[in-house]
């Protein structure tokens, strides 16, 4: 025995025909690029001429060029054969591939056995000593982006610093923009040369 559905609870299906839907307005891109007559108001804004950071001086630690084995900074400083650590408006040579117990002249590594970017905690000693600590550290991992090991992420997080990871060229560009916007006290960078190859330094 089949029961009849309750008419008050049943919903009816309605479909709209295509002709009714097309009466609402055009579907698809506009047929012309004409946006009407040009404005004759004297209060027009030239959005192309607006540069909100135009009057802001570029930090002296801004990266002007990423070389194969180093960097050129806006201050005229050139760093070769080393990475660079940019903290608080100062630039420091940075060689995180040198580990404790490593003999001079032997090969350095930045990856662990899982292929993750990992350096010893003493490589971050400057970040531990500086006060106030930067809010953000931009890490440039060389020619390509490499995932950072959980241990390295935890150590930087324990210092109270957020970590952003990119290849060195993009990390340098990001540092230049954010250091100009927010100031060199808020943003730090740790960059490996773009010519870095595992086991070559």
Look at residue 19 and tell me if it is in a domain: no
How far apart are alpha carbons 51 and 23 in whole angstroms? Answer: 43
- Higher pLDDT: 2 or 28? It is 28
Taking residues 3-9, report their average pLDDT.
62
Give me the residue label for tokens 């006060």. 131
Strand pairing class (136-140; 187-191):
parallel
Count the domains in the chain.
Answer: 1
Look at residue 99 and tell me if it is in a domain: yes
Which two structure tokens, joined as six digits, stand for 97? 């591939």
Q: Range of 113's domain?
A: 63-191
Look at residue 127 and tell me if it is in a domain: yes
Cβ pair 156, 96 in contact under 8 A: no
Interval 23-43: pLDDT, tens? 566 677 777 777 777 777 777
Look at residue 196 and tell me if it is in a domain: no
Which residues, listed in sequence order, are joined to residue 27 by a DSSP beta bridge?
Answer: none
Look at residue 145 and tell me if it is in a domain: yes
Interval 8-17: pLDDT, tens? 655 665 565 5
Interval 53-81: pLDDT, tens? 666 778 889 999 999 999 999 999 999 98
Q: What CATH code is carried by the domain that includes residue 97?
A: 3.40.1230.10
Look at residue 4 and tell me if it is in a domain: no
Cβ pair 147, 116 in contact under 8 A: yes
The number of beta carbons lying within 10 Å of the beta carbon of residue 116 is 16
Q: For residue 175, what are the CA distances in angstroms to 53, 58, 123?
A: 15, 11, 20
The number of beta carbons lying within 10 Å of the beta carbon of residue 197 is 9
Interval 109-144: pLDDT, tens? 888 889 899 998 888 989 988 999 999 999 999 999
Nearest Cα to 71, choosing from 197, 194, 200, 196? 194
164 burial (CB, 10 Å; 0-12 / 13-18 / 19+) is middle
Look at residue 2 and tell me if it is in a domain: no
Look at residue 37 and tell me if it is in a domain: no
| pTM reported for the whole predicted model | 0.71
């Amino acid at each position: 025995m089949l029961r009849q559905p309750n008419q008050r609870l049943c919903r009816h299906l309605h479909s709209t025909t295509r002709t009714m839907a097309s009466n609402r307005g055009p579907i698809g891109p506009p047929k012309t690029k004409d946006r009407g007559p040009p404005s004759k108001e004297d209060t027009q804004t030239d959005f192309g001429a607006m540069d909100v950071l135009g009057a802001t001086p570029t930090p002296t630690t801004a990266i002007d060029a990423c070389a194969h084995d180093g960097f050129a900074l806006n201050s005229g400083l050139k760093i070769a054969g080393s990475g660079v650590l940019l903290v608080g408006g100062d630039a420091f040579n940075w060689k995180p591939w040198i580990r404790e117990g490593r003999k001079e002249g032997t090969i350095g590594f930045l990856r662990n056995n899982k292929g993750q970017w990992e350096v010893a905690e003493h490589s971050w000693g400057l970040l531990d000593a500086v006060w106030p600590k930067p809010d953000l550290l931009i890490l440039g991992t060389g020619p390509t982006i490499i995932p950072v090991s959980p241990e390295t992420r935890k150590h930087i997080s324990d210092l109270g610093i957020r970590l952003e990871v990119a290849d060195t060229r993009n990390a340098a560009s990001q540092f230049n923009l954010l250091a100009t916007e927010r100031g060199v006290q808020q943003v730090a960078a740790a960059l490996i040369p773009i010519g870095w190859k595992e086991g070559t330094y």
